[in-house]
Structure 1
Amino acid sequence: MLLTHHAKERLAKRLAKRRRLERIYEKLWDFLDRSRRIEVNERIVIFTDGRKSLICSRLDCERLTLEDIKERVDGISRPYECIFLDDKLVRETLPRKFLELIPEGKYCFYLNREKRSLYVGSEEPLLAITLRPAKREERGAKST
């Protein structure tokens, strides 16, 4: 899961209480583990624990082997926010160094050069848009 600047700020304020990237994602994953998933439509997904709701949008990704991913990020010389969902690994580092930590396989791959973010994982990536108080219908909603 990737975070918009707004979502990162909200998560830091409401959940993590610190602005370190690893701490924000650690608290995000704890929140997701205790939350229900609500599929609003084909693009929007809401995760709610009954008190807070995380609004997310699906991102389009490509399924590539690790070798193909390494070829795609080969020319990048600036640090990126790198996320590997399967091992819940997040770092701000050079993508080629980050990919050395990932086992061989075929993964969903998403790269945003403008925002300097990289996602690798077995599931399609989501973009967290905001964290807000849960609405009444989300407090008792059934997961789908």
Structure 2
Amino acid sequence: MASEKLIEKVRRDFSTHLKRSNLRATEQRYEVLNSILEMKGHFGAEDLFVKMKNEGKKVSRATVYNTLELLFDLGVVSRHKVGNVFVYERAFGREHHDHLICVNCGTIIEFRSEEIEKIQDEICKKYKFKPIRHTHQIYGLCAKCAGAKK
């Protein structure tokens, strides 16, 4: 899990973002943030909503979806399209990685490739481009689904 200092910085940044956007800093929005801070791996908005409801948290589905959007804009979570839905994950306190996403069953395989990172750096240098962040996603069929399609 991310360090306490990093978590506190995320909370402060979220507060600042809400103020700048003229949005209310509601208890429910902070409940969503706190639940995300506890999440491991990938999750859907609906998964997060159900988890929070099962824990007795009083939060609306709309608040979960809207807060996820705010946190995505702030860079607290990243999102990946899997089929017709978005899947989220914490974007801080984790080692950078990329994804293989099965378009059939939705399986997400995380991977890290120094070669890909090197090529991206070389391309940015060639075009005098300063990268801020990136995601690399390869869509296809996982081994199980590819075997079933044969």
Q: Which has the higher helix share?
A: 2
Q: Which has the higher strand share?
A: 1
Query: Looking at CA atoms only, which structure, 1 or 2, has the larger radius of gyration?
Result: 2
Q: TM-score, normalised by structure 2?
A: 0.25
Q: Which has the higher contact order (CA 8 A, sep 6+)?
A: 1
